[in-house]
Structure 1
């Protein structure tokens, strides 16, 4: 038995609280090494008074490139437990594993309470279960400056004709809140029920990630009255609204930073930023900045979120838009570069105002330290979604894709995994159509795979009509509104896919997941006791025959033959 491959960490993603009295226990072993795992558990106090120890076989779950995971949902009548694992390898040898490590499988060892992991008391409040509504949400991300120009009276002075390019970093096209309001019916018709808006607060740029005033709508986007109308109209259509907050840094035109520039060390905002020398600016000899920034951008000075005054200001900002305008969610930019202590204070304050608020952090890597434990419900799940692109570009074998995907699915507690933000392209990436070399069949298949994975999926505006675009700023092209400029077949497909996904939200949140690989065909199956849904994807160059089932959606399928880049979504 490969002992080095065995791992369980109590009070981590390996012990996910699902509800009162319910916990999901998980164990990692080396792949193809262990034949069976049995969980032994009991209330320690009752056990010591003579109550029996429970023994239940764990379920063999997902496997990564190196490890096998075993899971078991457990009902705890008293909300307390001690537990340990009995492992049996392929040769039939057994060993115990608990809080003190490994021990021989003898009755004397199993009788010692210290051998067991401890769950002293299961507090549902400690679980901070994400809001239930997120599991039923398909998001639609909008870059407001490029979505629609609904009010030409607030256009920037240097506005360009809509859609004429090429798009530059300093281009303005006049998109605004009124344009979004005007097209809410078009968005709703897709079946999506969540709007994620990139920043809308006062800023000199088109992207608004260099905020001047967090309490004001950028005048080129409209007014607070417009924003309230947008929220109300979205809610009337059953859509939630998520705003984007940039708290890692401010724009250099913010009044706080301008005060620092003017008054130097005497500024009351001098300790709001990370300044290493005075006067603030660039070193005359080296040209290096003497203050910290987002990346290397001099126009985005980094904020000191350990300063209590800064903390209160940012908490006030987020509470304001919830209390005054009834928004439903916040996405926090560059969340991984902000200290955890501040996030706990802010998230706690927002949940006190609106218990079912969805709090999402931006991170491009595995970020267990940001999720739960008083912080975010989820992060932007790029490590899960980006391998989809590599799969369809044939940069990953099917086996490696499955292993990498399963690894990401094991990074977080199950309730959080159900609400991870799954976007395959965003304002920060090249567009899906362009990454896949304008192969519409691959785009359809990739979107279908995305919708089958655990988490809350997101469409980037324009994907539904075949909008292309390379890396920033080309990925922020204007939304084409003329039918002649849209791929209407793609829109019809996306509508069917999203509508189906919405109808299966509960099933997709709770069902078991498994993979099957046959040559160049990948099959993802989601299953409960009463239903099985499968997505079959042909990633090879030759057509393949697939079995007949109740077809929900397909592309490239004719007479049970699946073409290259084709897929079929079935229900059994």
Structure 2
């Protein structure tokens, strides 16, 4: 038995609180090393008074490239639990594993309380369960400056004709909130029920990630009355609204930073930023900045979020847009570069205002430290979604894709995994169709796979009509409001896919997930008590037999054959 491969961490994603009296236990072992795992558990106080331990076999769950995961949902009538694991290897040898490590599998050892992991009391509040509505949501991300120009009176002076290219970093096309309002019926018809808007606050740029005033709508986007109308009309259509906050840094034109530039160390905002020399600027010899920034951009000075005055200001910003406009969610830019203490304070304040607010952090990597523990419900789940185009482009083997995907599905507690923000492409990546070399069949397969995975899927505006685009700024082209026949057909397909996802959202959030690889055919199976959903993807070069019955969505099938690059989703 490979003891080095065995791990369980109490009060982590290995002990996911599902609801009152319910916890999901999980154990990791080396791949293909263990044949059986049992959990031996009880209420410690009742056990000490003579109530016997319970023993239940764990379920063999997901496997990564190096490890096997075992899971077991446990009901805890008293909300108190001690537990240990009996692990049996391929040779039939067993060992105990608990809070103090490994021990011989003997009755004497199982009678020692110190060998057990302890969950002294299960507090549901500690779980910080994500809002229930998130797992039922299909998001649609809008870069407001490029979605639709609904009011030409607020256009910037240097506005470019809609759709004219190439897109430049400083291009303005006149997109605004009125344009979003005008197309809410189109979005509702597409089937999405979550709207994620990139920043809309006062800023000199087209992207608005260099905020000047967090309490005002950028005048080129419209007014607060426009935004109030947008939220109200979105809610009337069953669409939630998420705003984007940039609290890692301010724009250089913000009044706080301009006061620092003008007054130096005497500025009342001097300690709102990370300044290491005066006056602020570049060292004349080294040309290095003497203040910290986002990345290396001088125009985005980094904010000192450990400063209580800064904390109060930013918390008031987020509360304002919830209390005054009833938004449903916040996405926080560059969340992994901001201190955890501030996030805990902010998230606690927002949950006090709106208990079912969805709080999402931007991160491009596994970020368990940002999820739960008083912080976010979820992060942007790039590590889960980025392998999808790599798989379809044959840059990953089927086995490698499954291993990497399963690894990400084990990084977070189950309730949080159901609320993770699953976007394949965004304003920060090249567009999915371009990554897939213009292949619309691959695009359809990628979206189908996305919709079958746990989490809250998101479409980047224009994906439904096959918009292309390379890295920033080309990925921020104007929305195509005059799609051709083929693009309309793609939109109809995406609409069907979204409808399938939303119809079975609860099932896809909670059902068991497993994979099967048959040569170059990948099957993703979602199994529930009364229903099974299977997605089959032919990634080979020859046709294979297709399902005949119960297929709800498919692409590239002919005469009961699943053609190369094709897929089918079957419901039994």
Note the 1:447-462 alignment, pairs <5 A.
447-462=447-462
Distance 1:484 1:374 in 2: 48
Q: 8 Å contact 1:138–1:458 — kept in the other structure?
A: yes
Distance 2:78 2:450 in 1: 39
Distance 1:16 1:563 in 2: 41
- Which residue is equivalent to 2:526? 526
Cα displacement (A) at 1:272: 0.1
Q: 8 Å contact 2:465–2:483 — kept in the other structure?
A: no
Cα displacement (A) at 1:541: 1.3
Q: 8 Å contact 2:130–2:356 — kept in the other structure?
A: yes
**Partner-residue secondary structure (3-state), 1:444:** helix
Note the 1:342-421 alignment, pairs <5 A.
342-421=342-421
Contiguous gaps of at least 5 residues in structure 1:
none
* Change over 3 Å in CA distance of 1:377–1:125 after alignment to 2: same
1:473 is the counterpart of 2:473: yes
Note the 1:19-34 alignment, pairs <5 A.
19-34=19-34
Cα displacement (A) at 1:320: 0.1
**Partner-residue secondary structure (3-state), 2:37:** strand
For residues 303-328 of structure 1, the C-alpha deviation after alignment (integer angstroms, 9 at most, x for no partner) is 00000000000000000000000000
Q: 8 Å contact 1:13–1:411 — kept in the other structure?
A: yes
* Change over 3 Å in CA distance of 1:375–1:486 after alignment to 2: farther
Distance 1:327 1:549 in 2: 43
Q: 8 Å contact 1:466–1:486 — kept in the other structure?
A: no
- Which residue is equivalent to 2:324? 324
**Partner-residue secondary structure (3-state), 2:105:** coil
- Which residue is equivalent to 1:300? 300
Q: 8 Å contact 2:382–2:423 — kept in the other structure?
A: yes
Q: 8 Å contact 2:334–2:362 — kept in the other structure?
A: yes
Distance 1:235 1:127 in 2: 28
- Which residue is equivalent to 1:196? 196
Distance 1:513 1:484 in 2: 38
Note the 1:486-497 alignment, pairs <5 A.
487-497=487-497
- Which residue is equivalent to 1:245? 245
- Which residue is equivalent to 1:422? 422
1:205 is the counterpart of 2:205: yes
**Partner-residue secondary structure (3-state), 1:363:** coil
**Partner-residue secondary structure (3-state), 1:487:** helix
Cα displacement (A) at 1:485: 8.3
Q: 8 Å contact 1:421–1:458 — kept in the other structure?
A: yes
Distance 1:386 1:216 in 2: 35
For residues 64-116 of structure 1, the C-alpha deviation after alignment (integer angstroms, 9 at most, x for no partner) is 00000000000001000000000010110000000010000000000000000
1:291 is the counterpart of 2:291: yes
Cα displacement (A) at 1:486: 7.0
1:517 is the counterpart of 2:517: yes
- With the length of structure 2 as denominator, give the TM-score of the two structures: 1.00
Q: 8 Å contact 1:480–1:486 — kept in the other structure?
A: no
1:550 is the counterpart of 2:517: no
* Change over 3 Å in CA distance of 1:317–1:486 after alignment to 2: farther
- Which residue is equivalent to 1:335? 335
Q: 8 Å contact 1:359–1:376 — kept in the other structure?
A: yes
- Which residue is equivalent to 1:433? 433
Distance 2:476 2:485 in 1: 16
1:14 is the counterpart of 2:14: yes
Note the 1:138-217 alignment, pairs <5 A.
138-217=138-217
**Partner-residue secondary structure (3-state), 2:172:** coil
For residues 432-481 of structure 1, the C-alpha deviation after alignment (integer angstroms, 9 at most, x for no partner) is 00000110000000000000000000000000001000000000000011
Distance 2:112 2:560 in 1: 59
